[in-house]
Amino acid sequence: MLKIFTGVKLIRNILKKAKKNPILDKNDLLQLFKIKYADDFLDLLQTASQVRNSKNNTIKLTSTVHLTNICQITPKCKYCGFAARTSLDGYYDPFFKEDQEILDAVKCVEKSDIPRVSCSGAHGYNGFQAVNAAKIVKENTSLELLVNVGADLNMTTLKELYKYNTDTICCNLETVNKNLFCELKPGEKLKDRIKICRKISNLGIELSSGLLIGLGESYQDRVNHLLFLKKFQNLGEIPIMGFNPYKNTPMEDHPPCPLTEQVKTIAITRLMFPQVRITVPTPTIGPRNIKYSLIAGADNLATVIPEDYPADVKGVGSPSYGNLKDVVGAVHELGLKLES
């Protein structure tokens, strides 16, 4: 009983502090990650929700266009079910979307009243796949645009993306634990991703950079990662993605990231970054669980697909995704408003 009281008291003090000032020290953050008791957990979620609502009480929706699954990274990332031939549950067959297919998809997204689209694709084109998509989106729609081709960018394509008024460029570090990164992404280098994040931020473009959790990283790794993100001046968005195993990949038997870990990480991120957009891609948390991400302080749901979307979509992280109607229902059920 004494132990329970001590735990509750300690966490309450940290949460009280966080409400006034988002600069929590490493030890406080670790204590939050180590929360054991249900009361503490609920307090954490409630505080994170309050912090979000005090800054922004609307929820953004982001749809998606997958540009290509033909990835030149070798060997492939061990969890990847997105690249061609990696998983029978993924896209499996190689594709590279034609301009008209991209246009049809983004027009459909705009018609559905989703305000934002993410155009993402596999590596190997120095960002020209992203520039082409940015040109199509910005010349033909009024959609807000995020592009995500990881570290597959150079200064020329970054400047082109800037020229086309790309609102946000995403390059996820996934984890800042270097050994784990090398183990999971043997075809990439963490330093290349960090370099691209710096360039995006230094160019004055909004940077999105997130965490893939449940891969074997420690709480200390997550704390280090979140503190590392504070270094980027133009950081405007943090995706929190829970790992789900894709069939046929080297990680098919690795357990999925528990929902509680995803929700806890979202809430702690919200306390540390009250003004930053916190994104949860619907495939990574599971379409049925999106309400928990909102309760934890997320304010952007990604990979939201309208009914009449003209292409097949396999989520990055899992083959399922959030259908627009269901996602809108979940937002309204919680009494939250959608950003128009």
User: For binding to ligand SF4 (CB under 6 A), which residues are involved?
Assistant: 71, 73, 76-77, 80, 82-83, 122-123, 150
Q: Which is nearer to ligand SF4, 166 or 172 (CB)?
A: 172
Q: Which is nearer to ligand SF4, 125 or 292 (CB)?
A: 125
Torsion of CA 176, 125, 83, 181, to 10 degrees: -10
Q: Which is nearer to ligand SF4, 115 or 187 (CB)?
A: 187
CB 92 within 8 A of CB 82: no
CA distances for 20 relative to 40, 55, 78, 97, 126, angstroms: 18, 13, 41, 48, 43
Q: Which is nearer to ligand SF4, 79 or 292 (CB)?
A: 79
Residue 175 beta carbon to ligand SF4: minimum distance, rounded to whole angstroms: 13
Torsion of CA 68, 73, 79, 83, to 10 degrees: 20
Q: Which is nearer to ligand SF4, 122 or 276 (CB)?
A: 122
Compute the distance between CA of residue 314 and CA of residue 65 in angstroms, rounded to an integer: 10
Per-residue tokens: 132: 């082409």
Residue 303 beta carbon to ligand SF4: minimum distance, rounded to whole angstroms: 15
Residue 174 beta carbon to ligand SF4: minimum distance, rounded to whole angstroms: 9
Residue that the structure tokens 């979000």 belong to: 52
Residue 95 beta carbon to ligand SF4: minimum distance, rounded to whole angstroms: 13
Nearest C-alpha neighbor of 200 from the set 254, 161, 250, 257: 161
Residue 185 beta carbon to ligand SF4: minimum distance, rounded to whole angstroms: 6
H-run or E-run covering 217: none
Residue 319 beta carbon to ligand SF4: minimum distance, rounded to whole angstroms: 14
Q: Which is nearer to ligand SF4, 45 or 122 (CB)?
A: 122
Q: Which is nearer to ligand SF4, 83 or 240 (CB)?
A: 83
Instruction: Compute the residue count for the chain.
Output: 340
Nearest C-alpha neighbor of 268 from the set 227, 236, 207: 227
Q: Which residues contact 142 (CB under 8 A, 6 or more apart)?
A: 110
Compute the distance between CA of residue 162 and CA of residue 103 in angstroms, rounded to an integer: 20
**Summary count for the chain: helices (H), strands (E):** 13, 12
Residue 191 beta carbon to ligand SF4: minimum distance, rounded to whole angstroms: 15
